[in-house]
Structures are given as C-alpha cells and as structure tokens.
Structure 1
Amino acid sequence: MARVAHALHILVKHLEQAEDILKQLNKGAKFQTLAKKHSNCPSGKKGGDLGEFKKGQMVPQFDKFVFGGEILTPTIVKTRFGYHIIKTLYRT
C-alpha cells in the first residue's frame, strides 16, 4: 500500500524570513494565519494545507522530511523553490 501524509507548509524565499516565521509559531502564532500572510505557494490561501499526498509526489527534500521527520513540529526545509516551514499532521 502506498504511504500517504498530510502536511501544511509556508513557502518563503529567504532563510531569515523562514526563521522569523518559525519563531512566531513557537510563540503560539497560528500556522494557518501565517501561511495566508506570508506563503508564496497557492496553498497559502488555504492556510498552507497541502491535503493528503503520496510518497514521491513532492520534491525530494520535502518528501524526506514529511515521511521521516517529526510529526506536528514545524521545521524549515530548503528546496529549489525556497524555504518551507513544514508541519506534518500525520503519515501512514
């Protein structure tokens, strides 16, 4: 059976901005609110919600974190698109 995950993300161009957003999240800011305000991805309008996706559908660095990193802990991951703050909600 294919593995699936559900994640939220915020995509920005610069590491400094990603670090600032992560600090705000760690202080209790709402992920969805910051995604709507800052994300360069169309998913930002939906609070950064990427929905459920299969292993291998995302770029390698993103995929590696979502299917191997911490659950529910927002983390900065760099890809060719920029810096993502990713929050994995669950994975199978």
Structure 2
Amino acid sequence: MARTAAALHILVKHKQQAEDIIEQLKNGAKFQTLARKFSSCPSGKKGGDLGEFRRGQMVPQFDKVCFSGEILVPHLVKTKHGWHVVKVLYRT
C-alpha cells in the first residue's frame, strides 16, 4: 500500500468550471497552464504542484483519489474547499 503520493490540482468554486477544465485537458491543454490561470489555491502559482504528501495529510475525499485513483488521469473531486481537478503523478 502506497504511503506517499504526488499530485497536481486546480481548485475552483463551481463544478461546471472544473468539468470545463477537464475537457480542456482532454483536448491537449497543459495542466500547469490551466492551474496558473484558474486555480484559487496558492499552489496554482506553481502550476498546481502539491509536491509529495503522506496518506491522511489531505482532506478525506482528496486523499482517497490520490491513493486509489488512476495515475496521470484528471479526476473531479468535491471537498469543503470547492471543486478540484486532481492529477496524481505517482505513489510510493
């Protein structure tokens, strides 16, 4: 079982905007570019890079995707902070 993961994310207020971002990613847009443009999280300035984190460090819904979702595929996650587009880079 993985103990750490690394991910990129884009945080927005509305589900529709998150779905639009996922569509742009499917059409070839760069994750980091969209994160800088749309993310309300401070990590947006770094292209959405959250770095490496341990299981349990993030809110439960986010954690679940990072430790069980498909790697390198954008996921839509709702948390108390808003809607996240999450791309898991790797797990260790």
Instruction: State the TM bucket, normalised to the shorter chain.
Output: over 0.9
Deviation at 1:27, TM superposition (A): 0.2
Q: Give a deviation string over 1:34-91, Cα, whole Å, max 9, x none.
A: 0000000000000000000000000000000000010000011000000000000001
Q: Which runs of 5+ in 1 are unaligned?
A: none
Root mean square deviation, CA, Å: 1.2
Sequence identity, in percent? 73
- Rounded Cα–Cα distance in structure 1 between residues aligned with 2:40 and 2:70: 23
Q: Could you tell me which residue of structure 2 aligns to residue 18 of structure 1?
A: 18
Q: Could you tell me which residue of structure 2 aligns to residue 78 of structure 1?
A: 78
Matched, 1:48 2:48: yes
Give the length in aligned residue pairs. 92
SS at match of 1:58: coil
Alignment of 1:4-15 (within 5 A): 4-15=4-15
TM-score by length of 1: 0.97
Alignment of 1:58-77 (within 5 A): 58-77=58-77
Deviation at 1:29, TM superposition (A): 0.0
TM-score by length of 2: 0.97
Q: Which runs of 5+ in 2 are unaligned?
A: none
SS at match of 2:45: helix
